[in-house]
Structure 1
């Protein structure tokens, strides 16, 4: 048996869809390429980000933080931190230095972990 995948993308469940769509639209500086009352989709370089309102089993999606993170490479980490702060979601910690560059952890309105990083260009 062969597992053949033609496409992959990340989705986030959101009971309050509008709030999360507004947050990501403002953070990313783009509008969703598809938006309905139950689903929105952003097209990023190399990634589609979907946000959906669950129709069933809503309790399992409330406050569901996990080990998964949405990593976003930015050209100016300080500017990205300022933008998150302006949106009302300042990163709670300090900038870290990793092998690939500088990074900081942040969280969206629903508590999903974001890792914003600026490559060291190595």
Structure 2
């Protein structure tokens, strides 16, 4: 690990309205089981986020290259944010899969529909490379923007 700045992403935190429901979703999505479920709170933890007090129920999901922290704020109660991918400051989390169709089928099994049909990049998309890369967008139960990618060419990680 480099000490000259940021070199490794440790985790991505996703605030949800219902921890148990979201655990089912993210386990189905990734095919991995939750590694840990706990809660944390109090004034010391709240200070790290500029809050007066907090209580957070959370679960950790360990993937090969990054961890996902699924967070349900009990105190203070969360407000729903709403972003679509084209809005400034909107972010999305992308999961790499080998088979887009199989991943979409797993999502269908738990009642999740993609935002649109999956596509596989070709020259008609205006790219110069990466042909055959598959992508599809969807949201989690709380509206978090997510993507699946089956990467080819420059979209593969080195």
- Structure-2-length-normalised TM-score: 0.66
Q: Which runs of 5 or more residues in structure 2 are unaligned? A: 40-56, 85-89, 122-128
1:103 to 123, 135, 139: 135
Cα separation, partners in 2 of 1:7 and 1:80, compared to 1, 3 Å: closer
Distance 2:19 2:104 in 1: 23
Secondary structure of the corresponding residue to residue 70 of structure 2: strand
Q: Any conservation in 2 of the 1:14–1:110 contact (CA below 8 Å)?
A: yes
Higher RCO, Cα 8 Å, sep 6+: 1
Q: Which runs of 5 or more residues in structure 1 are unaligned? A: none
Within the alignment, does 1:18 sit opposite 2:20 as a pair?
Answer: yes
Match for residue 117 of structure 1? 149
Please provide the CA RMSD for this pair.
2.4
Cα separation, partners in 2 of 1:94 and 1:108, compared to 1, 3 Å: same
Larger Rg: 2
Secondary structure of the corresponding residue to residue 18 of structure 1: helix
1:73 to 96, 108, 116: 96
Match for residue 32 of structure 1? 34
Match for residue 84 of structure 1? 107
- Structure-1-length-normalised TM-score: 0.83
